[in-house]
Amino acid sequence: MPPLSTVTIPPNTPHTHTVVFLHGRGDTATNFQYAFTQWQDAQFRSLPDLFPFVKWVFPQSEIRPLARFPGARISQWFDTWDLANLSYKEELQIEGLKESVLSVKEILEKEVEELPGKDWGRLVIAGLSQGGATVVHVLISLEEKKLGGLMVFSGRMPFSGRSLDETREVLGLVGGGDDQNVKETPALVQHCIDDPMSRVENGRAVRDSLEGFGTKVEWREYDIGGHWFHSPDGIVDAAEWLSRFVFRDGQHRYD
């Protein structure tokens, strides 16, 4: 597969961390980048405003065919037959998800080269909706590279209910991943209860799967917000989590 294209929000102060953030199904990196900057706290501050030392990278997914609707193609990380029931014909998800995981790993390999000390602990992967589903599989497939963190918003969990080894075996990626990295990478999972596209039970399945893998998960659910980030509480929680678990040098605090 050719490398994925990306759009970025560059840092405004010396660059110390990078977040690679995957959009949802049917969206584009450009649209998502703009919408992300509109996610603000009560003081109308976005995460790039709050953390100007971070480079935000938004990959663009491939345009993939829809098996359920022959001839149709949309921007998606992997195909699904039924968004309300990911376990139905779940084998359709494998090819695209495997390709997307490999493509995102290539982006991480490139981005870490720009970070101080080429430190993988300064990299965070994040995703909304189907992008969130994808970054979970990126995490569990990494070999001997401990990330700074994982963030999943309005997400889903393909192939849920399996052990860590069983989940990895579904994609059959060479290397298989590193258990200790999965256990030591902190995770934030957020979901809105009124989400009409990805029920809150899907977010809880992400949480439960990660906890079953040994990941330390901070879970937040909100009464309203739909299939999106919650404002302002969601951004406050995300900023506080990043300050506590990723930007731990004491110089970058959220207040």
* Residue 111, in any domain of the structure: yes
> Which residue segment(s) compose the domain that 39 sits in?
6-245
- Whether residue 195 is contained in a domain is answered as yes
Question: Is residue 167 assigned to a domain?
Answer: yes
- 181 in helix, strand or coil? helix
Residue 251 lies in a domain: no
H/E element, 57: strand 54-59
Query: What is the spatial distance between Cα 55 and Cα 14, in angstroms, rounded to a whole number?
Result: 10
Residue 20 maps to a domain = yes
Please provide the average confidence, as pLDDT, over all residues in the chain: 93
Is residue 10 in a domain?
yes
Check which CATH number belongs to the domain holding 55 and give it. Answer: 3.40.50.1820
- Identify whether 215 is part of a domain: yes
41-94 pLDDT tens trace: 999 999 999 999 999 999 999 999 999 999 999 999 999 988 777 788 889 999
How many structural domains is the chain composed of? 1
Q: Is residue 37 very low, low, confident or very high in pLDDT (cuts 50, 70, 90)?
A: very high
Interval 161-211: pLDDT, tens: 999 999 999 998 766 778 999 999 999 999 999 999 899 999 999 999 999
pTM greater than the 0.85 cutoff: yes
What is the pLDDT confidence band of residue 251, given thresholds at 50, 70 and 90? low
Q: Is the peptide bond before 59 cis (omega within 30 degrees of 0)?
A: no
Residue 11 lies in a domain: yes
